[in-house]
Amino acid sequence: MKGFVLRCWIAAAAVVLSLAVGLGQQSRSPIPVPLGLLPVQFPKDNPYSTEKAELGKLLYFDPRLSGDNSVSCATCHSPQFGYTDGKAVSTGIRGQKGGRSAPTVINRAYSLAQFWDGRAPTLEAQAIGPIANPIEMDQTHDSCIDKLRGIAGYRQLFAKVFGTEQFTIDHVAKAIATFERTVLSGNSPYDKYKAGNKGAMNASQVRGMNVYFGKAKCDQCHEGINFTSNAYHNLGVGTDKPNPDEGRFAVTKNPEDWGAFKTPTLRDIARTAPYMHDGSLATLEDVVEFYDKGGTANKNLDKTMKPLKLTAQEKTDLAAFLRALNGEGWQSIKAPAKFPQ
């Protein structure tokens, strides 16, 4: 019961945060945001600047952040696949396979804790985690900084942005996180429809919207402007496997969090297949079927997971509505043509 209350509290906190931003910070976003989104807030200890975002973009796409110069952040979070990698689980340095699907970077500015299990409290902490992960980029933070400091072009850029050539991994984290907060998606057919353009969605998508907010009650977890409560839920994904992923439990050690994973955004969901933390569902239709059956039974199955008993038409329409959440904004970001030398 405590876990359920905590998840409700987290969801409520996210709503309050969104309202606070929407009501009190409308004029404070330093970057433009697409229709349907709220202003982006940057941390007080990591304010936005164009130069910092540009530096972060270079670092994000630069494979030299990895131990053998083969893997960048963009390897697993590529614009080509909606800032994922289009694979069930990601491939890191030396062809090693991870155990989870790469979540999208899109709209991470509106997210709270990062990673499927929420182990990183900020986007800054998330940005540098993979660098030292032996499966992902396999380079100690000290080695990474030594390598970057050995590149004259980076020394000049860090000096311009942070006022020192003796930059640290914290500076790298701040630069990458600043860039990632500019990767936005809005102005989708749904946003346009909601704003008054009733021709922005077709009849199937409109029916699917009614299923989403009505019979299926998808917005119990996928709510708000970013279609996520930022809370953790056990849907039963992978719990029937020999060695199930413990999910949030590995972070909190709370038995009620066993098998629970962070609710992802549904923005651009049609562009970020496959789905779920293990990439086990290939299509949106597969996802709808999974929810329709009520997930996979296990000791911690979320109480909201119950058979939906949707008709064939309702399933088709619901998937159509999810495709109406494909937006615009992030496509304007282009990978660097060259890197500092």
Catalytic residues: 136
246 residue type, one letter: E
Q: Is-contact 227 262, C-beta < 8 A?
A: no
Q: E strands along 197-285, which residues?
A: 232-233, 261-262
CA nearest 228: which of 269, 190, 289, 284? 269
C-alpha to C-alpha distance for 122 and 243, rounded to whole angstroms: 29
d(Cα 81, Cα 113) in Å, to the nearest integer? Answer: 23
Residue that is written with structure tokens 């083969």 in the block: 70
- Cβ atoms within 10 Å, residue 307: 10
C-alpha to C-alpha distances, 126 to 133, 174, 183, nearest whole angstrom = 11, 10, 15
Reduce the DSSP state of residue 46 to 3 states and report it.
coil
Is there a contact between 138 and 93 (Cβ–Cβ < 8 Å)?
A: yes
Q: The tokens of 63 are what?
A: 């494979």
